[in-house]
Structure 1
């Protein structure tokens, strides 16, 4: 397998970029299943904001996908790449599902914020699915296969950066921003 190590290193860089683009601002706290104490803000708005921050927190916590660079067996390397891509797809599936659960929001402007973020994340997910399918369908990992996978991953990372940029400028209604101070996951 000619050129095996060079494309793998570029792939690792792309995966590292994915881990770095998980979310603009890390948040702490745990998802809550029950009511959130609002202390003045509308309880439904605080619950929504808490869940929104919980999605962001999950993205940050799940962003670090590792790839074993020491793989010398081509079949094992192919499996490791496929598994890593599968984990990225799984994370994005959860994020997209959880973002979808946030709609309808107590204010339609918040629904727009979710849509603006979900659309590029969905496109990124599709590119990672394509990369995984390329790996899984290949009889062996060749330089051409790596090039195709790297191209899909580069496009996915570009689209994820778009989502992160949108996350940084998305504007939630004033009462939602005020509720962030009372939402455990946003602290």
Structure 2
């Protein structure tokens, strides 16, 4: 199964999400607080995606259920992050509102892909190894779309104020430590 690959893909995407959380020093306190809220909003998704799905390779039904459970919890984490992003308020920094809008759109597309994969997994016949061998990759194909999505942090690095604020924001620092792949 390619579940570990998808988990690594997700963690790599998360690393890109917070790649902008580094840079100079001396940010405005209001910008730091707002950026901290933005990074805090991502924690629901980050924590859910960082968990590996439980896959019992000796039991096809349990393996499919493990992947489905992972997708469900990550989808829930995505929705929590989308809701939290909607609540961060207006950015005190030019370009911040546009960044949050792009980030929210990206998270919504990822959530749609996860839900599509879960829907397809629900119909997989786990009693036939031959059917399972073709149906499982087909059911998780929507997750492949994640590889072609642009980085939601595109353009953030060009915004010195947000980059500097995110370096000082505690939630951004924590987000980086959670989303950094362990090797």
What TM-score, normalized by structure 2, do the two folds share?
0.71
What is residue 145 of structure 2 aligned with on the other side?
A: 155
Q: Do the aligned partners of residues 175 and 155 (structure 1) sit closer, same or farther apart at CA in structure 2, a change above 3 Å counting?
A: closer
What is residue 74 of structure 2 aligned with on the other side?
A: 88
Structure 2 unmatched ranges of 5 or more: 174-183
CA distance in 2, matches of 1:182, 1:67: 32
CA distance in 2, matches of 1:153, 1:66: 15
Q: Determine which of 17, 20, 23 is the counterpart of 2:12.
A: 20
Asked if structure 1 preserves the Cα contact closer than 8 Å seen for 2:124 and 2:136, the reply is no
Q: Do the aligned partners of residues 14 and 120 (structure 1) sit closer, same or farther apart at CA in structure 2, a change above 3 Å counting?
A: same
CA distance in 1, matches of 2:168, 2:6: 36
How far is 1:21 from its partner? 1.7
Q: Highest Rg: 1 or 2? A: 1
1:176-187 → structure 2 map (5 Å cutoff): 176-180=162-166, 182-187=168-173
What is residue 34 of structure 1 aligned with on the other side?
A: none
Asked if structure 1 preserves the Cα contact closer than 8 Å seen for 2:7 and 2:49, the reply is no
Alignment length (residue pairs): 163
What is residue 112 of structure 2 aligned with on the other side?
A: 126
Structure 1 unmatched ranges of 5 or more: 1-7, 28-38
Q: Determine which of 131, 135, 140 is the counterpart of 1:145.
A: 135
CA distance in 2, matches of 1:185, 1:119: 21
How far is 1:153 from its partner? 1.3
Residues 20-73 of structure 1: per-residue CA shift (max 9 Å, x gap): 22133477xxxxxxxxxxx98353x33211112323555544432313344312
Q: Greater CA deviation, 70-79 or 57-66?
A: 57-66
